[in-house]
Structure 1
Amino acid sequence: MQDEPEPSSQDIVRRLLYRDALMLVIDKPAGLAVHPDVKSGATLVDQLDALRFGLPRRPELAHRLDRDTSGCLVLGRHRKALARLGRLFAAGKVSKRYWAVVLGGPAGDEGEIALPLARRDPRGWQMRVDPAGQPALTRWRVMGRGEGMSFLALEPVTGRTHQLRVHCAAMGWPILGDRLYGPEPAPGLRLMLHARSVTVPLYPKRQAILADAPVPAEMMELLARCGWAGESGLSVQARL
Structure 2
Amino acid sequence: MPPLTLLYQDEHLVAVHKPSGLLVHRSALSRGETEFLLQRLRDQIGQRVYPVHRLDRPTSGVMVFALSSAVAARLCEAFSEQRVDKRYLAVVRGAAPEHEWLEYALREEDGIRPKAEMPAMPAATEITRLDSVELPVQVDRYPKARYSLVEARPLTGRRHQIRRHLSRRGYPIIGDARHGKGVHNRFFAQRLEAPRLLLAATQLVFEHPLLGQRIELECALDTPMQALFQRFGWAGHLPLDRQRVLPNAPPLKSTASLI
Equivalent runs, 1:28-39 vs 2, <5 Å: 28-36=18-26, 37-38=29-30
Secondary structure of the residue aligned to 2:70 is helix
Q: Please, which runs of 5 or more residues in structure 1 have no aligned partner?
A: 1-7, 235-240
State the match for 1:64 in structure 2: 54
Deviation at 1:222, TM superposition (A): 3.0
User: What is the aligned counterpart of 1:162 among 160, 166, 173?
Assistant: 160
| Per-residue deviation, residues 185-221 of structure 1 (Å, max 9, x unmatched) | 2146110000001011115775410111111110123
Structure 1 residues 209 and 40, CA, compared in 2 at 3 Å: closer, same or farther?
Answer: same
State the TM-score, normalized to the length of structure 2.
Answer: 0.75
Deviation at 1:114, TM superposition (A): 0.2
Q: CA contact under 8 A between 1:149 and 1:226: conserved in structure 2?
A: no
Q: CA contact under 8 A between 2:107 and 2:121: conserved in structure 1?
A: yes
Between stretches 113-122 and 15-24, larger displacement belongs to: 113-122
In 2, the alpha carbon distance for the partners of 1:183 and 1:225 equals 22
Letter in 1 for 2:169: M
Equivalent runs, 1:111-150 vs 2, <5 Å: 111-119=100-108, 123-124=112-113, 133-147=120-134, 148-150=146-148
Q: Please, which runs of 5 or more residues in structure 2 have no aligned partner?
A: 135-145, 241-259
In 2, the alpha carbon distance for the partners of 1:35 and 1:204 equals 25
State the TM-score, normalized to the length of structure 1.
Answer: 0.81
State the match for 2:143 in structure 1: none
Max Rg structure:
2
In 2, the alpha carbon distance for the partners of 1:52 and 1:225 equals 36
User: What is the aligned counterpart of 1:172 among 170, 173, 189?
Assistant: 170
Secondary structure of the residue aligned to 1:92 is coil
State the match for 2:43 in structure 1: 50
In 2, the alpha carbon distance for the partners of 1:205 and 1:59 equals 19
In 2, the alpha carbon distance for the partners of 1:233 and 1:71 equals 11
Q: CA contact under 8 A between 1:97 and 1:156: conserved in structure 2?
A: yes
State the match for 1:217 in structure 2: 223
| Per-residue deviation, residues 57-82 of structure 1 (Å, max 9, x unmatched) | 50111111111000001100111110
Deviation at 1:11, TM superposition (A): 1.4
Over the aligned positions, Cα root-mean-square deviation in angstroms equals 2.8
Deviation at 1:123, TM superposition (A): 2.1
State the match for 1:197 in structure 2: 203
Question: Runs ≥4 in structure 1, deviation > 6 angstroms?
Answer: none
In 2, the alpha carbon distance for the partners of 1:205 and 1:233 equals 27
State the match for 2:235 in structure 1: 229
Q: CA contact under 8 A between 1:101 and 1:150: conserved in structure 2?
A: yes
| Per-residue deviation, residues 37-92 of structure 1 (Å, max 9, x unmatched) | 34532111322322545xxx501111111110000011001111101111111111
Letter in 2 for 1:118: R
User: What is the aligned counterpart of 1:99 among 70, 76, 89?
Assistant: 89
In 2, the alpha carbon distance for the partners of 1:47 and 1:28 equals 11
Deviation at 1:124, TM superposition (A): 5.0
Q: CA contact under 8 A between 2:71 and 2:209: conserved in structure 1?
A: no
